[in-house]
Structure 1
Amino acid sequence: MLSRLLWRRPWLRIGALLAAPLGWLGVVYLGSLAVLLITAFWTLDEFSGLIVKGFSLDNFRTIIEEPVYRRIVLRTLSIAALVTITDIVLAFPIAFYMARVATPRRRAALAVAVLMPLWASYLVKVYAWRTMFANDGILNWVLDPIGLSVPQSGYIRVWIVLSYLWLPYMILPIYAGLERISDSLLDASGDLGARPWRTFRSVILPSAIPAIAAGSIFTFSLSLGDYITPQLVSSTQFIGNVVYANVGIANNLPLAAAFATVPVVIMVIYLLLVRRAGAFEAL
């Protein structure tokens, strides 16, 4: 009886198949976001230290009015944008060589080389960079003979480490996007008299924009919410560090929740922007 009902109604089969994952998404993921948003409107009683469960905009007012919080938001935005731009510049030549130039054997070897850092633990890679940034680390050992030294700026250190960590997430989408470009399209450009640079500028680059936008979603969002790397390689404060400190040390969960909504709002705006560039079709 049940099998006959499912056979006659394909939509019912699809609904039964998707019920569990959609239920998990709705309850765990969207439910946690709803709890986060609700908590952001609560306040912390200064005398007792207890959470007052009532509607208030004090947390958001604090974030907007306090100059230190505004600087932290702008600093986090700038590092996320800088990491994204850096990874685009580094990833495009690698992805282009993999997709359009390399032989199948070299392409496979490069794909393994790009994926290999993802097999290592995130913390191991960050601690490795922390060791290299040390005064007696390998970077100072290499740079010292030419009169240079490791940058002391925490902002630059975070930029370097995050650019390294998220580079594979930019290479793979761009590689997939370049690989989908039809050879006949490039041949047609050449037949019409376009030189290689003109073909790249007018055919390849516009076709790769959706893939670049898709890769930027990963690099921008991961940089926006990261708090472990800034904490381990520098003392510079970013949004993630403020949220972490207010959850743990300060025990101000409402302010932490309010501050955590800032990257959520930023990412919603960012996704709306890259959607116009065709990023979702390239994922």
Structure 2
Amino acid sequence: MSETATVSSRISDSFWRRPTILLLLLVTPPLLWLGIVYLGSLFALLAQSFFSIDEFTGLVRYEFTLKTYAELFRASNFDILVRTIVMASAVTIASAIIAFPIAYYAARYAKGRWKAVFYLGIMLPLWSSYLVKVYSWKLILAKEGILNWLFETLHLSWILQAYLAIPVVGGNSLSVSWTGTFLVFVYVWLPFMILPVQAALERVPPSMLEASGDLGASSSQTLRHVILPLALPGIIAGSIFTFSLTMGDYIIPQIVGTSARMIGQAVYQFQGTAGNIPLAAAFAVVPIFVMGIYLTLAKRAGAFDAL
């Protein structure tokens, strides 16, 4: 036996006798990556948010202060926070409403090839370029787009124009309105809601649904008291994706929607063109804080017990 083979055999024997050492060697690199790169960057971000910008020199003052967080409550900045949270909530609710019947059909009725078609249909949009999807929707929602053409063909343009005339949700066209931003967000993040809900519904035993019917429950009662509570972990898991991704995204509001900013755009602009890194860091902390509260409430409600 060669010397190399002998050394390898001894090392293998050592790992076999001491599995703890092998476990430490396997988990140390990812733990270092998580602890230094990921958590380290988050702590650095948190530290930056407690600094401020000198109004005269424009340089960062490395002195502990809550002044930057106080700036978040200025009217213009607070509007950004409210606008983002409302949009993220609306996208999450709409995604859950759309995803549930799709996921329920896939979990209870789709079999064989149809289930493969379902997975392909859900995953296929995720394989295409993010920017291509967003710009495609911008063309669809534009005044010269196919959606406007469809309304004109059906002689329903007056409905679209009446809707666009509504303050806040309307605009010159859907591509420069909050409705357009909402539609694109729902389209892009919908797969992240469907898949967890479908996985949760597949774990619901058919015998439980049969027992509910045998006990005299109607279809609506079974849905409300049996299916929805058991599907809640999947809905919560999907909402984590849709809510957090909507709050942090800055590309979709930049391409589709009005000139009013969301948190992602504010972070991008303050740390880039404005050079106000402390305020950008304070804005970036808001989604972390909101998601922390959300996850805490979901855990207390027992939404993660079946995950």
In the alignment, the residues of structure 1 paired with residue 286 and residue 91 of structure 2 have an alpha-carbon distance, to the nearest angstrom, of: 19
- 1:260 Cα deviation after fit: 0.9
Q: Which of 199, 220, 226 pairs up with 1:203?
A: 226
- The Cα shift of 1:2 comes to 4.5
Aligned-residue offset at 1:190: 2.7
The answer to whether residue 210 in structure 2 is matched with residue 187 in structure 1 is: yes
| 8 Å contact from structure 1 (residues 43, 254) kept in 2 | yes
Tell me the equivalent position of 1:169.
Answer: 192
What residue ranges of structure 1 are gaps of 5+ in the alignment? Answer: none
Determine whether 1:130 maps to 2:154: no
Q: Aligned pair 1:149/2:154, yes or no?
A: no
Other-structure match for 2:60 = 51
For 1:53-79, what per-residue CA distance to the aligned partner results, in whole angstroms no more than 9, with x for missing partners? 221211111112x11111111111100
Q: Counterpart of 1:240? A: 264
Query: Given the alignment, which residue of 272, 285, 298 partners 1:261?
Result: 285
Equivalent AA in structure 1 for residue 38 of structure 2: Y
Q: Offset at 1:91?
A: 0.3
| 1:107-132, Cα deviation, whole Å (9 max, x unpaired) | 11011001110001111111111111
Give yes or no for contact 1:209–1:277 (8 Å, CA) kept in 2: no
Distance 1:169 1:278, change over 3 A: farther
Q: Is the 8 A contact 1:214 1:282 kept in 2?
A: no
The answer (yes or no) to whether the contact 1:162–1:229 under 8 Å persists in 2 is yes
Alpha-carbon distance in structure 1 between the residues aligned to 2:121 and 2:300: 32
The answer to whether residue 116 in structure 2 is matched with residue 108 in structure 1 is yes
Quote the residue 2:107 is aligned against. 99
The residue number in structure 1 matching 2:44 is: 35
Deviation at residue 278 of structure 1 after TM alignment: 4.3
CA–CA separation in structure 1 for the residues paired with 2:11 and 2:63: 48
Partner letter of residue 124 of structure 1?
Answer: V
Q: Which residue of 2 aligns with 1:159?
A: 182
Q: CA RMSD in A?
A: 1.7
Contact persistence 1:60–1:258 (CA under 8 A) = yes
Residues of 1 paired with 2:243 and 2:298: CA distance?
11
Amino acid at match of 2:223: F
TM-score computed with the length of structure 1 as normaliser:
0.94
Distance of aligned partners of 1:282 and 1:68 in 2 relative to their CA distance in 1, 3 Å threshold = farther
Larger radius of gyration, structure 1 or 2? 2
1:90 aligns to 2:98 (yes or no)? yes
Structure 2, gaps ≥5 residues long: 1-9, 165-169, 172-176
Q: Show CA shifts across 1:222-278 (max 9, x none).
A: 011111100111222111111111111111111111111111111111111222344
Contact persistence 1:87–1:170 (CA under 8 A) = yes
Distance, in Å, in 2 between the alignment partners of 1:241 and 1:282 is: 36
1:223 has 2:232 as partner: no
- Quote how far apart the aligned CAs of 1:281 are: 5.0
Which of 193, 198, 213 lines up with 2:236 in the alignment? Answer: 213
When normalised by structure 2's length, the TM-score is: 0.87
